[in-house]
Amino acid sequence: MQRTSPSTSLAALEGRAVSAWFGSHKVLDRVSLTMPAGAVTALIGPSGCGKSTFLRILNRMHELVPSAALAGEVLLDGEDIYAPSRRLIDARREIGMVFQKPNPFPAMSIYDNVVAGLKLTGKRVSRSEKDGLVESCLSRAGLWKEVKDRLRQPGGGLSGGQQQRLCIARSLAVMPRVLLMDEPCSALDPTSTRRIEETIGELKSEVTIVIVTHNMQQAARVSDFCAFFLAEQGTPGHIVEAGPTTAIFETPQDARTSDYVHGRF
């Protein structure tokens, strides 16, 4: 089978003074963060401090909630993804998302799950191109060897960890420039978690990755940069401290960061 290699260039993502509301409830307050190209940025912090909301703002999913409002800018390689000239589908194509709970189309075959991602691109591809893409995406997601002999079986028949890697493969088929992952391992066992972490390490040379995780060891293992979010005493979520992961873990500037990363929260 022909291998199709990724053809997109690496892009940095930047949130500038991002604030968010659900109705009158302000949940994020002027969050500014640069997520460098070709690196893994981890968003860490206690539950309810707005990490998932921030992630959803980064690919324009937040605006789908009727009560949601937003201020600030999100720049993909310097271009505002919320500019009037940019369509929702452009953000969806360029910035993929993997969720906490693996959500492949369960009745659809493994093959068709990967190919389903292509619909977003609107591209017409030949059968052999599709075959090449399926192999390439499943390989990059670390799943090819396990499923190559059963591509026609339903995605829902795979284990949880395999389903999550299938979801990563489906996202990769769109050739995104950024991959957002919202606690992608929290529903998985330790072995599957390790496999996903290895995949993240391999993918970051071709796609910018932003991962939300509540697992500090995982943040330390997989990320190059970390941003610590906090929403204290009912205040909206904000970033207390952000920087290289080694600095956040070894020489944090704020006592709250130190307490959080060392499990004293």
Which residues are at the interface with ligand ADP (CB under 6 A)?
Answer: 22, 27, 47-53, 65
The site partner of 22 among Mg ion, ligand ADP, none (C-beta below 5 to 8 Å per kind) is ligand ADP
- Euclidean distance between CA atoms 206 and 178, whole angstroms: 9
Helices (H), ranges, 3-117: 51-58, 88-94, 110-116
CB of 70 to Mg ion, least distance (A): 17
CB of 212 to Mg ion, least distance (A): 6
Looking at residues 194 to 223 of the shown chain, list those that interact with Mg ion (rule: CB under 5 A): none
CB of 27 to ligand ADP, least distance (A): 4
Q: Should residue 162 be labelled a site residue for Mg ion when binding is judged by CB under 5 A?
A: no
CB of 265 to ligand ADP, least distance (A): 13
Given phi > 0 = left and psi -120 to 50 = alpha, else beta, which region is 175?
left
Q: Toward Mg ion, which CB reaches closer, 111 or 229?
A: 229
Q: Toward ligand ADP, which CB reaches closer, 39 or 230?
A: 230
Q: Toward Mg ion, which CB reaches closer, 27 or 115?
A: 27
Q: Are 138 and 111 in contact (CB under 8 A)?
A: no
3-state SS class at 40:
strand
Looking at residues 18 to 77 of the shown chain, list those that interact with Mg ion (rule: CB under 5 A): 52
Q: Which helix (H) or strand (E) holds 132?
A: helix 127-140
- Counting Cβ atoms within 10 Å, is residue 263 exposed (0-12), middle (13-18) or buried (19+)? exposed
Q: How many residues lie near Mg ion (CB under 5 A)?
A: 1
Q: Toward ligand ADP, which CB reaches closer, 27 or 118?
A: 27
Q: Are 168 and 141 in contact (CB under 8 A)?
A: yes
CB of 68 to ligand ADP, least distance (A): 7
DSSP 87-108: -HHHHHHHEEEE-SS----TTS
Contact footprint for Mg ion (CB under 5 A): 52
